[in-house]
């Protein structure tokens, strides 16, 4: 999906909090080493340039999993820096840094981080703190702690490669994670939505929880393969949209900003691909089109970002009990060339939809120089969305 993205898996720890024996990243989880599940999650997202920071004595285990490795250091930051420097000979545009002991990272979380990196130097998933917080001493509560603005950090944490490499080289050490290193260097780090399933295996009970979650995922996958005699509500919607070219030096397509000699005209940001997909979801729900929900006569939507419309459509689908199982967008134009941006578009749409990237397709075609798209007067888009409700 992102050939310019590398993934660092941090797995050089001894897992002392897990208890004695084999370090947690190499223990069996549902019949495979933990690290095998972690690597598989990124490969499923289309990310195949992986490198793992490990203890040298674990090299045979890493090679069994077909994982290039680098010797980790005494601290997490040391291990990350070693992996970054190993990538420097053939530097990627950006890098995701992930805890090897987070084997259940959902594809949607990976997609949200990648999409945010289109607009920020750094991005990381997190969950807002919702429980009350206390400060305690000697087994007694001493004070309450405001939770406003507090988040529970997760990984993968993504960055522009040169920026995070420079930040790690300049950092004095002792950082809890890579976001702390990035902030110390003054980097811009966006927060994206994490996932409760994205647990880090830290204590023995975490393995049982992970086993349960994996079993639930398997059960869901099996149910999605067969109706098992049950009636399911399966909806398919289609969308079509057109926007003409006008003044400008860039345009938005499927959530990605592209430099071009002309822009697209429209009441909002004129993202023709996202508009078609939004209408496809509304169509599957029998909920009309964008104009019904966001009238062009309303000035508040003038110049609005189209992800507002798409997110409203998918949220409405979830409210009605539907799950998006697949979305397909076809862009019709002579220029700009879509191929170099298709992966970024796929990630951007998946992030907005909260879907696995493998369930979102973005492709393009020309009209062989025929019609208004052939004359380069504008861009058209077709989209199909499939929704399922048990």
- 212 with 301, same domain: the answer is no
Are residue 301 and residue 356 in the same domain, yes or no? yes
User: What local confidence, expressed as pLDDT, does residue 357 receive?
Assistant: 86
Rounded average pLDDT over 346-374 = 92
On whether both 210 and 286 belong to a single domain, the answer is no
52 in the same domain as 199? yes
Query: Is-contact 332 381, C-beta < 8 A?
Result: yes
The last residue of a domain, from among 224, 248, 275: 224
**Which tens digits make up the pLDDT trace of 92-127?**
999 999 999 999 999 889 999 999 999 999 999 999
pLDDT band of 349, cuts 50, 70, 90: very high
> Cβ distance 99 to 8 under 8 Å?
no
- Tell me the C-alpha distance between 341 and 362, whole Å: 9
CB 9 within 8 A of CB 50: yes
Predicted confidence band of residue 267 (pLDDT cuts 50, 70, 90): confident
Range of the domain at 38: 5-135+144-224
Q: Are residues 241 and 115 in the same domain?
A: no
Mean pLDDT of 11-17: 76
Q: Please, which residues have CB within 8 angstroms of residue 152's CB and are 6 or more apart in sequence? A: 126, 127, 128, 129, 194
Per cent of the chain over pLDDT 90 is 76
CATH of the domain at 121: 3.90.550.10
Q: Do 53 and 9 contact (CB within 8 A), yes or no?
A: yes
Whole-Å CA distances, 62 to 8, 13, 76, 245 = 13, 14, 18, 52
CB 80 within 8 A of CB 70: no
Q: Per residue in 135-145, pLDDT tens?
A: 999 999 999 98
- CATH number, domain with residue 279: 3.30.1330.50
Asked which of 224, 243, 270 is the last residue of a domain, the reply is 224
Cα–Cα distance list, 255 to 171, 226, 306 (Å): 34, 34, 8
Query: 184 and 253 in one domain?
Result: no
Task: With 0.75 as the threshold, say if the pTM is over it.
Answer: no
Which of 177, 203, 224 terminates a domain? The answer is: 224
Whole-number mean pLDDT of the chain?
A: 91
C-beta of residue 309 within 8 angstroms of C-beta of residue 254: no
Question: Are 312 and 194 contained in the same domain?
Answer: no
Closest CA relative to residue 11, chosen from 43, 42, 45, 38: 38
């Amino acid at each position: 999906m992102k050939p310019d993205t590398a993934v660092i898996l941090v797995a050089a720890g001894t897992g002392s909090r897990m208890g004695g024996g084999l370090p947690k990243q190499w223990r069996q989880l549902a019949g495979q080493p933990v690290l095998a599940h972690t690597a598989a999650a990124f490969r499923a997202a289309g990310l195949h340039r992986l490198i793992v920071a490990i203890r040298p004595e674990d090299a045979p285990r890493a090679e069994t999993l077909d994982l290039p490795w680098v010797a980790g250091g005494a601290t997490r930051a040391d291990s990350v820096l070693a992996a970054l420097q190993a990538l420097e000979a053939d530097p990627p545009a950006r890098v995701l840094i992930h805890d090897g002991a987070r084997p259940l990272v959902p594809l949607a979380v990976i997609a949200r981080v990648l999409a945010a990196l289109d607009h920020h130097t750094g991005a990381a998933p997190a969950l807002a703190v919702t429980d009350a917080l206390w400060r305690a001493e000697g087994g007694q509560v001493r004070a309450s702690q405001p939770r406003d603005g507090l988040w529970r950090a997760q990984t993968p944490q993504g960055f522009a490669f040169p920026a995070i490499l420079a930040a790690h080289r300049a950092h004095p050490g002792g950082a809890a994670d890579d976001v702390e290193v990035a902030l110390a260097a003054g980097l811009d780090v966006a927060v994206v939505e994490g996932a409760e399933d994205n647990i880090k295996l830290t204590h023995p009970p975490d393995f049982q929880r992970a086993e349960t979650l994996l079993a639930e995922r398997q059960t869901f996958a099996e149910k999605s393969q067969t109706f098992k005699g049950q009636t399911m509500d399966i909806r398919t919607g289609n969308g079509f949209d057109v926007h003409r070219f006008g003044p400008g030096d860039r345009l938005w397509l499927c959530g990605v900003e592209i430099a071009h000699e002309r822009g697209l005209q429209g009441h909002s940001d004129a993202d023709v691909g996202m508009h078609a997909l939004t209408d496809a979801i509304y169509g599957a729900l029998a909920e009309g089109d964008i104009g019904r929900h966001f009238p062009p006569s309303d000035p508040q939507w003038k110049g609005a970002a189209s992800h507002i419309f798409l997110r409203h459509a998918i949220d409405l689908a979830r409210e009605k009990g539907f799950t998006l199982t697949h979305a397909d967008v076809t862009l019709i134009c002579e220029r700009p060339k879509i191929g170099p941006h298709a992966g970024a578009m796929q990630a951007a749409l998946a992030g907005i939809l909260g879907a696995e990237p493998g369930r979102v397709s973005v492709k393009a075609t020309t009209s062989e120089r025929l019609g208004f798209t052939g004359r380069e007067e504008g861009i058209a888009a077709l989209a199909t969305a499939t929704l399922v409700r048990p």
